[in-house]
Amino acid sequence: MSHLEDVFLTIVNMSITASFVAAGVLLVRLLLKKAPKIFSYILWAPVLFRLICPVSFRSELSFLSLLNLYPKREAGFSGFVPRNTGLAQTPALGSGAVGVGGAVNASLPAAAPAGANIAQIWISVLSLIWISGVIALLIYSVVSYVKTRRMLQTATRVKGNVFETDAIGTAFVCGFIRPKIYVPAHIGDADMAYILEHERTHIRRKDYLVKPLAFLALVLHWFNPLIWLCFALMNRDMEMSCDESVLRRLGDGAKCGYSNTLLSLAVKRKGLLAAGPLAFGENHAKGRIKNVLSFKKPAFWVIVVAVVAVCAAVIVFAANPSASAAYTSEDYKISLRYPSGWKPNPYYIERYEGTGGFFQVGAIDGAALTIDEVAENEAFHRLSPYGTEPQILSRTVDGQEARLILPSVDQPEDMQNQAGLIVRYPQAVQINGSLYHYLILWADKAHIEKIGNTLAFLGIQAGDISPGGIAPESDEAETEKTLDEYVSEAIIAYNKPLFRGGEYQMFATEYHETLKTVNQGDTVTVYLVALYMQYQYKDNEIVLTGASCVPVAITFKMDDSGYTLLEYWEPENGVSYAPSIRGKFPSDIAKAGIYTSMEADGESICLQRAQEYFARQSIEEQVPSGRTEISAAAS
C-alpha cells in the first residue's frame, strides 16, 4: 500500500470519527439554542480537533465509548476502515466439497483472477480522486486570496489597521500575521463604529486564524458532506457570537442601528469576493439580523448551565475510549475486553477490578431450565443481590440468546452496583468435570454492556484444532502444542472480540508469516504479520464479516507447561504507525513490518478453510445458530 493510500485511509477514519462527533455537536447545539452563540461556536472545537488530529487522549467518558464505537483497535491501524482493506476474495467451494457442495457453488459468483483485489484497486482510485480534490480546492483558495490581495492594493489607511476601498461591498478582516480591517468606501460614521467593533472582536478572538484552519480541515475532508454543513454552521455561529459580543458592550440601544448596518452591507454585497474562503465577509444577514433584534442578556443560571454543558461536551467529544485489555479463558471458552487498568483480584476466581468497576465470570448448569428461568433464579435470589425489583432485559451476545439483569435502587451497597449478563453457551461446556449450559458475566452497571458487547465464544475446546484447521473426528490424546500453535491461538483470541458476530454460524481463522523470533531468558517474542479472517454462511453465500492484517509482536513466558501469553502488541494508529513499529521491531525487520503485505496464499488458505468447514455442514445446520467455529494455521 502506497503512502498516499495510507494517508487517504487515515483521513477517511478521521472523517468518520469526526462525523459521529459532529452529529453529537449538532444535537447539543439544538439544546443550547437559547444560550449565547459563543457556546455553540466553542462546541465546534472538538469537531475541528477530530478532523486535523489523528490521535487523542483516552477517557471512560468518551462519546464514542457511550455509543460502543471504537475508531481504532486498541493498538493498531485499523480504525473504522482497516489499513489493509480488500482482503476478501470471491468465495467458491471446491468440486470435492460434500454436504452443501453443488448448492453453494451454483449460488456463488465466478472467482476473480489471481492477484486481482477489487477493494485495493478502488482504494487506489479513490485516493487519487481525493488528492485531486484537495489540490483543486487549495488552488482555488490560493487564487481567491491572491485576487483579494490585489483588489486591496488600492485601499487607503483610515486609522491604525483600518483601511477603506471602493473595490469591496462589505467589511472583513484579511491577513494572518498582522490582520487588517477593510471596509467599503463612503461608510457613515455610525455604521463604521459598529463595523469596527465587530471586526476588532474577530481579531481579539483570533477568528482570522480559526477560519483558515477550519477551511484547511474542510479541504482535507471535502468528500464528506456533513463537514461542509459543519463548516457553514461554524461560520454562522462565529458571526452571531461576534454580534452578541458587540451588543453586550454597546448595550440594547444599539440593536436597531446595528441591524440596519448589517442590512445595508448585505445589500451592497459585490460578487463572490466577500465569500472568499480565507477572507471574512459578512454573511447570513437575515438570520443575524433576527438574532440581533431578539438578543437579550441571559440569566446568570443559564450561563452557568451552558458553561458546564459545553465544557463537558468538549471533553466527551474530544476523548477516545479508554484502552482495553484482552481476557481469554480456556475453561469458560470465552474471550472479552475490559479496561486495561483493571487487575486480577487474588481472592476471587476469574475476577478483575479497577478504578470505577469490576467483572467476574462464572457458569451455570441449567440443563433443564430455559434462559428466562435461569435469569429469574439469579435475579430474584433469596439474598436479593440485585435488590428487590431488578430488571431482566433480552439481549443477543455473539449470536447467542442472553438476558441482562440490572439492579434496582435498593440494591445492597456491598454489591458495588453489580449487574449480570447470562448467555446461553452454543454447546455445553465441561468445566472441572461438570457440564454447564450458561455463562454468567457479573460487572458493575456502568460496564456490563460495554464488556458484554466484546464477549465472544472460543467455539471448540483446546486441542481440537488440527494443523489443517479442521477439527479431527477422532478423540486422540492431546499432544504438546508448538510455539506456532500458541501464536495462532493468541491471534484469534485477540481479534475475535473486536469484530461483531452475527445471527448465523461463524467461522474464524488466521494465517501468519513470521518475520523473526527472539529468545531472551525465559521469554520469547515472535514478530510477524497476522492475517485474521471471519466468515459467515448466509443466504447460500460465504460472506466475509471481519478481516485484519497488521504487524504484531507476541511475547510469551516459557516454562515446563508450555507458553503463557505476556503481551500482544500492535502498532499505534495514524501518524504514529511507522514510528511505533520502528521502536518495537528489530531494525532488520522494521521495514518489512511497516510495509505490511501478505502473500495471496494466506487469503486463499483462509477462504479454503471456510469453504471446507461450511461444506462439512448439512443444509439444516446453516440456520441461525450464533455458534463460532475457529481454525488456525501459520506459514
> Of the candidates 457, 481, 503, which is a domain's last residue?
457
d(CA 74, CA 339) in angstroms, rounded, equals 11
Same domain, 385 and 448: yes
Do 522 and 624 reside in the same domain of the chain?
A: yes
The pLDDT score that the predictor gives to residue 579 is: 85
For residue 324, tell me if it sits in a domain: no
Show which of 440, 457, 474 is a domain's final residue: 457
* pLDDT given for residue 409 in this prediction: 94
Predicted pLDDT at 79: 53
pLDDT at position 283 is: 60
Note the Cα 425 to chain centre separation in Å.
29
Instruction: Please count the other Cβ atoms lying within 10 Å of the Cβ belonging to residue 507.
Output: 26
419 lies in which domain range? 331-457
**CB contact set of 306 (below 8 Å; sequence gap of 6+):** 32, 35, 36, 39, 298
pLDDT at 21: 92
> Do 370 and 398 sit in the same domain of this protein?
yes
| Contact (CB, 8 A) for 630 and 112 | no
pLDDT digits (tens, 9 = 90+) for 580-617: 898 999 998 988 888 766 666 788 888 888 887 777 66
Instruction: Strand 343-344: give its sheet, edge to edge.
Output: 343-344, 351-354, 357-364, 434-444, 418-431, 400-406, 391-397
Which residue has cell 439444516? 620
> Do 501 and 606 reside in the same domain of the chain?
yes
- Average pLDDT over the chain reads 79
Q: Of how many residues is the chain composed?
A: 635
In whole angstroms, what is the distance from residue 621 CA to residue 619 CA? 5
Angle between helices 255-267 and 189-204 (to 10 degrees): 90
Is the pLDDT at 51 greater than 50, yes or no? yes
Q: Is residue 521 part of a domain?
A: yes
269 in the same domain as 370: no
Whether residues 444 and 335 share a domain: the answer is yes
Threshold 0.75, pTM exceeds: no
pLDDT band at 541 (very low <50, low <70, confident <90, very high): confident
Q: What is the DSSP string of 315-375?
A: HHHHPEEPPEEEEEETTTTEEEEEETT-EE-TTSTTEEEETTEEEEEEEE--TTS-HHHHH
Residues 605 and 621 in one domain: yes
pLDDT one-digit tens code per residue, 288-313: 888 888 888 888 888 888 899 889 88
Cα–Cα dist 351/361, whole Å = 7
pLDDT (0 to 100) of residue 598? 64
pLDDT-based confidence at residue 47 (cuts at 50, 70, 90): very high
What was the pLDDT predicted at 464?
33
Query: pLDDT grade, residue 196 (50/70/90)?
Result: confident
Report if residue 559 sits inside a domain. Answer: yes
Q: Is the pLDDT of residue 280 over 70?
A: no
The verdict on 424 and 483 lying in the same domain is no
441 vs 496: CA distance, rounded Å: 18
* End-of-domain residue from the set 260, 290, 318: 318
Task: Looking at the structure, tell me whether residues 430 and 509 fall in a common domain.
Answer: no
Same domain as 541, residue 424 = no
The angle at the Cα of 609, spanning 607 to 612, to the nearest 5 degrees, equals 110
Using CA atoms, how far residue 394 sits from 391, 427, 500, in Å, is 10, 20, 18
Tell whether 215 is covered by a domain.
yes
What is the arithmetic mean of pLDDT over 411-430?
91
Total domains present in the chain? 3
Q: Report yes or no: 575 and 10 within 8 Å, Cβ to Cβ.
A: yes
pLDDT of residue 461 exceeding 70: no
Confidence tier at 462 by pLDDT (50, 70, 90)? very low
Mean pLDDT of 242-253: 86
175 burial class (0-12, 13-18, 19+ CB within 10 angstroms)?
A: middle
Q: How do the residues of the chain divide into helix, strand and coil, expressed in percent and rounded to 5?
A: 40, 25, 35
CATH number at residue 390: 3.40.1000
17 with 52, same domain: the answer is: yes
Residue 633 within any structural domain of the chain: yes
Task: Name which of 4, 225, 216 is nearest 130 in CA terms.
Answer: 4
Does residue 166 belong to any structural domain of this protein?
yes
How many whole angstroms separate alpha carbon 594 and alpha carbon 505?
34
Strands 343-344 and 351-354: antiparallel
Where is average pLDDT lowest: 44-53, 398-407, 526-535, 619-628? 619-628
Whether 137 shows a pLDDT value over 60: the answer reads yes
pLDDT tier at 317, thresholds 50, 70, 90? confident
- What distance in Å separates the CA atoms of residue 307 and residue 35, rounded to the nearest whole number? 10
More confident residue, 259 or 409: 409
Evaluate whether residue 113 is within a structural domain: no
pLDDT-based confidence at 19, cuts 50/70/90? very high
Q: Are residues 12 and 62 in the same domain?
A: yes
Q: Does some domain include residue 611?
A: yes
d(CA 573, CA 582): 14
169 DSSP 8-state letter: S
Residue 216: predicted pLDDT: 93
Q: Per-residue pLDDT averaged across 172-191, rounded?
A: 84
Instruction: Flag the least confident range among 191-195, 465-469, 483-487.
Output: 465-469
